[in-house]
Chain A
Amino acid sequence: MQKVYSKIESISGNVITVTAEGVRNKELAVVETRYGSSLAEVIRLNRDEVALQVFNGGRGVSTGDEVRFMGETMKVSFSDNLLGRIFDGSGKPRDGGPELTDEMIEIGGPSVNPARRIIPRNMVRTGIPMIDVFNSLVESQKLPIFSVSGEPYNELLARIALQAEVDIIILGGMGLKYDDYLFFRETLEEGGVMSRTVFFVHTAADPVVESLLVPDIALAVAENFAIHGRRVLVLLTDMTNFADAMKEIAITMEQVPSNRGYPGDLYTQLASRYEKAVDFEGSGSITILGVTTMPGDDVTHPVPDNTGYITEGQFYLRNGRIEPFGSLSRLKQQVNGETRSDHRAIMDGMIKLYAAYKESLEKKSMGFKMSDWDEKLLTYGEMFEREMMDLTVNIPLEAALDKGWEILATCFEPEETGLKTELINQYWTNKV
C-alpha cells in the first residue's frame, strides 16, 4: 500500500512538507531526487499537511520530487547474518556486501518494564585501575566517556571493547571521522573480534540528519541479540553529534529551544536511547559505552549535562587520563562489595587523599611553605598519578588494590589515611 505524492509544498532545512492523506505518525517515506533517493520520516501531521525529516538532508530536494509513503515505520534486518558486516547510518551496506532483508524488526520500540529488570551484578574487568578499582564497570551499564575532542576516547572505547567478555560488539558511529572508522575496523580485526561485530557507521562526510537513526538501529539490533541470550556491548560515538542533529531539526521545526538552541525534550530523547541498556532476566544483556564530547570542555553544556543525569556514571578523560573527580560508576556498589574486603575502603580513601593532595598542590603553587603533611600529600599525589591514573597501567584489580596499599604505606602513617583499623591490620604493608 504505497502512496506516491509528487508535490512538495515546502522545504526548510532538512524538513519537507507534502499534502497527503491516510499518513500515520512516524511513517517512513522515500524521497526521490535528482541526486539519489533518501529515507524520510513523518514527524508532524496537521490535517492533510505532512512534515517529514529527510535523512539525506534537504539539499538538492526539489518541489517536483516524488515522495513515496511506505505504510510502515523504520525497520532493520536482524539475524546472525549481520555479524561481521558494516552498514551506514540508515542500515545500507557500506562494505560492498549484500543488502539484508530477512526478519525486519522495528526500531525505537517500547521500553523495558522496570518490574522485569534485574539488579546488574557482573563486573566487566578492564585492567585499568581507574575503572576497576575506583569506578567499576558493570554488565548492562550505560556509561559515556566525557571528553574534549583530541583525547584518545575512541582508543579507550576500543580497548575496553576488546577486553570485555561480551558475545557481540555493535559500533554505532555518528559523525565519525573516517580515520576513526578505519581505526575501529583495524583494531577490532586485529583483536580477532570482527566476526562478532556489527558496524553502523555514519561518518562526518554523510548528511548530518542521517546520524539520527544510528542509535535506534544499533540498539534495536542489540536488543534482539540480547533477547536471544547474547551479551551485547554497544559503542556509541559521538553522542554529541547525535544531539546536534536533533537540534538542527528542532530549529527547523521552530520549536522553542530550552537551552543553547537544544530542544526541551533533549533529556527525554537521550534517555530513550540510553535506557535500552538492560540485563534481561534469564537472557542476555546490553551494555552501552558512549562518547560525549564536551564543546569547550564545558561539562555544563546541555549535552554532557543531560547525559550525566541519564547515564549510570561517566568517565572523564582529560590529558589522556581518567580523572578521579567527576568520573563515576553508579553501579560500582553492585559489584565492589564482593571483590575484596578492602575494595570500597581503598576506592574512597585514596580519592579523599587525592583531593587533599590537590589542595596542597594549590597552596604550593601560591608559594606557601609546605608543612610535613603537605609534603606527604605531594609525594602521594605524584605516586598516585604515575602508578594508578596513567592509562598505560594495565593490571588486574587485585594487583591494583595491593598497589594502593603499597602507595599508602610508602607515603603515610596508618592513622593519616582515614581507613578503619581493622583493614589496616589486615592489609597495611610494611614500608618498602
Chain B
Amino acid sequence: MVSVEFTGEATMNEVCYVNSGGRKLKSEVIRIKGNEADLQVFEMTTGVGVGDDVEFTGELLSVQLGPGLLGQVYDGLQNPLPELAEQCGFFLDRGVYLSALDEAKKWDFTPSVKAGDKVAAGDQIGSVKEGIFDHWVMVPFQLDGVLIVKNVVAAGSYTVNDKVAEVENERGELIPLTMSFNWPVKRAVNCYAERLKPSETLVTKLRIVDTFIPVAKGGTYCIPGPFGAGKTVLQHVTSRNAEADVVIIAACGERAGEVVETIREFPELIDPRTGRSLMERTIIICNTSSMPVAAREASVYTAVSIAEYYRQMGLDVLLLADSTSRWAQAMREMSGRLEEIPGEEAFPAYLESLIAAFYERAGIVRLNNGDIGSVTIGGTVSPAGGNFEEPVTQATLKVVGAFHGLSQQRADARKYPAIHPLESWSKYEGVIDKKKTEYGRAILFRGDEVDQMMRVVGEEGTSLEDYIIYLKADLLDFVYVQQNSFDPVDDAVDPERQEYTYNILLDILTAKLDFAGKEEARTWFNRVRQNFLDYNSKEWKSEEFEKLVSTIFQLLAEKKIGVEADAEGIL
C-alpha cells in the first residue's frame, strides 16, 4: 500500500499508476482523506520510493467486455496471461498491461436494429458468432434512459474497436458504440426486466449433488472443507461436466498448478453437449497465491462481471470461485494496512456484507426481450484449521442456497467426493422425486445412528433389523453417494442414469430382507455391492450393464420377502 498527496480530485476505486523505476504500477484508490489518498498497488512494491509520482486516470477499476472473452486465461485484472507470456517469457513482469480483447481480430457483425429504433442499456443491437454462441453486441450497461439508434453499420467484418452504431440519449447527445465497452467490476449489472426464483436444477452429473443436495440455475452454493478434502477436485469436475453454457473459473489465491491442469486439459477435452473443445465455453480468471495479493481481491469481481455479461445474452453461466477465503484474506490484509478496527479473527467488520453482496450477483433473470439468463455461483471456503465456526464460512452459510460440506474423515477413508451426505443441505429442487430422496436420506441417517450405537454396545448388542439398516446405508453410500471421478463412465452421470440407478437401489432399500444372521446379511450385501461397483463403470445400457442389473435383481429376488411398511407409496 502507498499513500499519495494529490491536487485536484480523486475518486474512490479510481485506477492510478505509480511511476517507479521506469515502470507504471497499476493501483486502486481505497481511501481518501483530505488531499491524501491510500492506494493498493496491484504489484509488488519493491523499489517504490517516497517522491515517486502517481498518475490518476479518473476511471474506476473495470473489465473490458466484448466478443473474444471465451477461452481466455486472464489474471485478476484481466491481463491475458498467454499473451503476457509471449511478451515476457516465464515470469510475470511488473507493470506490463495488455488489452483484454484481441484488437486486431475481425468479427462478422450482423446488426439487429435500424436507425430510429429505441433501445436501452443491455439491449441487443447486433451479434457476432463467438465459437458456439451468438454473442450479442449490446448497448453498454451504464447508458441510461431511452436511446434512439441514429445509424448502424451494414453487416460485415469489424474489430472490437470499430464503431458499429450511434445512439442518441435523452439529452440529445450522440454516443458512438463499438462491440466492446468497460464495466466497473464492483457494480452488479442490472439491466433486466425482473429477477426470478431459481427453480431449475443445474445438472452437475455428480450423483450426491444432483440427487440429494442440488444446485439451481441462478442459485448459489458453497463448498467449505479442510485442506485436502477435495474442494478443488470437486470444482474441477463440475467445471468439466456441469450443464451450463459458459463456465467461469476464478482461481483465487490458491495453487497455480491447479489452474494449469485446466489450461492444458480443457482445449483437448470435448464437450459432449456441443462436440467442441471445453475451452470454448470456459474463461479462467486466475490470481494464484503467489500473484499480487491486491489483485486477488479484484479477481472475483472481474469474474462475476464477465459472468453477468454472458447472462445478459440469455445464457446460463456458472461461476466457480476457489477459494473465497483467499479473497477474504486479501481484504483482511488490506484492512490491516489501513489500520481499520479489526473484527473477528482480524477480518474487517464489513466482511459479511461484502460476501453477501458477492453472492447476490448470482441469479436467474428475465431480460428485457423476454429471454432468460442466469449466473450460478459456487464458492469454496477454506476455513482455518478446518473449523466451520469461523467468519468466512459463517458469513457464507447465511447467504447461499446450498451447502456442500466436506469432511476430513470421509476424505481420510477415501470416500470421494467427500461431501458429508448428512450435514450438507440444499434449498433447491433435484433431479429425482423428493419423496424418494428423502427415503434414501432417512436410511443414511438411521444407518449412521446404528453405526454410532454399535460403537457403544458393539455389534453383538445390535439387532439384526438394525444391522440390516446399517448395511443398507453402507451400500447406498458406497455405490451411490461415492463416485469415482477417475473412471471414464462414473465421472459424469446423466440425470437419466441417476434416476435409473436410484430406483434399483430404492428397491433394495425398501425391501424386507430375509437373513438368518448378520454374517449372511453382510455377505449378501457385499455381493450386491460388488455388482453395483462393476455396474458403475459400465456404459449406459451396454450388454455388460444389463447383465449386472439382472444379477442385482436376481440377488434381490432371492432375499426379498416384502416391502417395508414405511416405503408404501413411494415406489
Tell me the A residues contacting B by CB distance below 8 Å.
21-27, 45, 47-48, 73, 108-120, 227, 255-259, 264-265, 267-268, 271-272, 275-276, 280, 299-300, 302, 305, 308-310, 312-314, 324-326, 328, 330-331, 333, 337, 344, 348, 351-352, 355-356, 359, 362-363, 366, 368-369, 371-374, 413-416, 418, 420-422
Residue of B nearest to A350 (CB): B414
B90 partner residues in chain A, CB cutoff 8 A: 112-113, 116, 227, 280
Contact A309 B227 (CB under 8 A): yes
In the bound assembly, the distance between CA atoms of A117 and B264 in angstroms comes to 9
Residue of B nearest to A364 (CB): B458
Asked if B174 is an interface residue, CB under 8 A from chain A, the answer is no
Partner-contacting stretch, out of B129-137, B144-152, B274-282, B523-531: B523-531
> Given that A109-B91, A268-B293, A272-B289 are contacting pairs, would A369 and B263 also be in contact in the complex, using a CB cutoff of 8 Å?
no
A108 partner residues in chain B, CB cutoff 8 A: 46
Asked if B518 is an interface residue, CB under 8 A from chain A, the answer is yes
> Given that A302-B384, A351-B413 are contacting pairs, would A45 and B49 also be in contact in the complex, using a CB cutoff of 8 Å?
yes
In the bound assembly, the distance between CA atoms of A363 and B451 in angstroms comes to 11
In the bound assembly, the distance between CA atoms of A415 and B93 in angstroms comes to 57
Partner-contacting stretch, out of B118-126, B254-262, B371-379, B498-506: B254-262
Contact B255 A275 (CB under 8 A): yes
Asked if B110 is an interface residue, CB under 8 A from chain A, the answer is no
Most buried by A among B84, B486, B519: B486
A369 partner residues in chain B, CB cutoff 8 A: 458-460
Contact A119 B289 (CB under 8 A): no
Q: Which of B85, B88, B255, B387 contacts A310 (CB 8 A)?
A: B255
Asked if B561 is an interface residue, CB under 8 A from chain A, the answer is no
* Interchain Cβ contacts under 8 Å between A and B, 30 examples: A23-B50, A24-B21, A45-B50, A108-B46, A111-B92, A111-B291, A113-B81, A113-B89, A113-B90, A115-B263, A119-B264, A119-B265, A256-B342, A264-B333, A267-B326, A268-B289, A276-B290, A314-B228, A325-B412, A326-B228, A328-B228, A351-B412, A352-B413, A355-B413, A363-B455, A366-B458, A369-B459, A371-B519, A413-B526, A418-B478
A352 partner residues in chain B, CB cutoff 8 A: 413-415
Contact A113 B91 (CB under 8 A): yes
- In the assembled complex, the CB of B350 is this many whole angstroms from the nearest CB of chain A, namely 15
In the bound assembly, the distance between CA atoms of A259 and B530 in angstroms comes to 47
- In the assembled complex, the CB of A355 is this many whole angstroms from the nearest CB of chain B, namely 4
Contact A116 B412 (CB under 8 A): no
A48 partner residues in chain B, CB cutoff 8 A: 50
Contact A368 B460 (CB under 8 A): yes
Contact B227 A275 (CB under 8 A): no
Contact A418 B50 (CB under 8 A): no
Contact B384 A259 (CB under 8 A): yes
Asked if B64 is an interface residue, CB under 8 A from chain A, the answer is no
In the bound assembly, the distance between CA atoms of A119 and B49 in angstroms comes to 39
A259 partner residues in chain B, CB cutoff 8 A: 345-346, 384
Using A280-B90, A305-B385 as known contacts, list a sample of 7 further A-B pairs with CB atoms less than 8 Å apart, ordered by residue number in A: A110-B93, A111-B291, A119-B260, A309-B382, A312-B255, A352-B414, A415-B523
Contact A421 B534 (CB under 8 A): yes
Q: Which of A109, A111, A326 contacts B256 (CB 8 A)?
A: A111
A227 partner residues in chain B, CB cutoff 8 A: 90
In the bound assembly, the distance between CA atoms of A280 and B90 in angstroms comes to 8
Contact B81 A24 (CB under 8 A): no
Residue of B nearest to A281 (CB): B90
- In the assembled complex, the CB of A34 is this many whole angstroms from the nearest CB of chain B, namely 30
Asked if B552 is an interface residue, CB under 8 A from chain A, the answer is no
Q: Which of B45, B290, B336 contacts A272 (CB 8 A)?
A: B290
Contact A308 B227 (CB under 8 A): yes
| 8 A-B pairs with the lowest CB-CB distances in the bound complex, closest first | A300-B385, A368-B458, A271-B289, A275-B290, A355-B413, A115-B81, A111-B290, A308-B227
Asked if B315 is an interface residue, CB under 8 A from chain A, the answer is no
A351 partner residues in chain B, CB cutoff 8 A: 412-414
Asked if B58 is an interface residue, CB under 8 A from chain A, the answer is no
Q: Which of B88, B342, B458, B530 contacts A421 (CB 8 A)?
A: B530
B339 partner residues in chain A, CB cutoff 8 A: 256
B250 partner residues in chain A, CB cutoff 8 A: none
Contact A312 B257 (CB under 8 A): yes
A119 partner residues in chain B, CB cutoff 8 A: 257, 260-261, 264-265
Contact B459 A371 (CB under 8 A): yes
A271 partner residues in chain B, CB cutoff 8 A: 253, 289-290
In the bound assembly, the distance between CA atoms of A374 and B462 in angstroms comes to 15
Contact B257 A115 (CB under 8 A): no
Report B389-426 residues with CB < 8 Å from chain A CB: 412-415
B253 partner residues in chain A, CB cutoff 8 A: 267-268, 271
Asked if B19 is an interface residue, CB under 8 A from chain A, the answer is no
Contact A114 B289 (CB under 8 A): no
Asked if B246 is an interface residue, CB under 8 A from chain A, the answer is no
> Given that A110-B94, A117-B257, A348-B414 are contacting pairs, would A372 and B293 also be in contact in the complex, using a CB cutoff of 8 Å?
no
Asked if B159 is an interface residue, CB under 8 A from chain A, the answer is no
Asked if B537 is an interface residue, CB under 8 A from chain A, the answer is yes
Contact B537 A420 (CB under 8 A): yes
Q: Which of B346, B458, B527 contacts A258 (CB 8 A)?
A: B346
In the bound assembly, the distance between CA atoms of A416 and B519 in angstroms comes to 12
In the bound assembly, the distance between CA atoms of A21 and B519 in angstroms comes to 83
Residue of B nearest to A308 (CB): B227
Asked if B386 is an interface residue, CB under 8 A from chain A, the answer is yes
Interface bits B528-558 vs A (CB < 8 Å: 1, else 0): 0110011001000000000000000000000
B13 partner residues in chain A, CB cutoff 8 A: none
In the bound assembly, the distance between CA atoms of A117 and B411 in angstroms comes to 28
- In the assembled complex, the CB of A302 is this many whole angstroms from the nearest CB of chain B, namely 7
A118 partner residues in chain B, CB cutoff 8 A: 260, 264
A326 partner residues in chain B, CB cutoff 8 A: 228, 412
A114 partner residues in chain B, CB cutoff 8 A: 73, 81, 256, 259-260, 263, 286, 288
Residue of A nearest to B46 (CB): A26
Q: Which of B49, B290, B336 contacts A22 (CB 8 A)?
A: B49
Asked if B48 is an interface residue, CB under 8 A from chain A, the answer is yes
Contact B92 A313 (CB under 8 A): no
B257 partner residues in chain A, CB cutoff 8 A: 117, 119-120, 312, 331
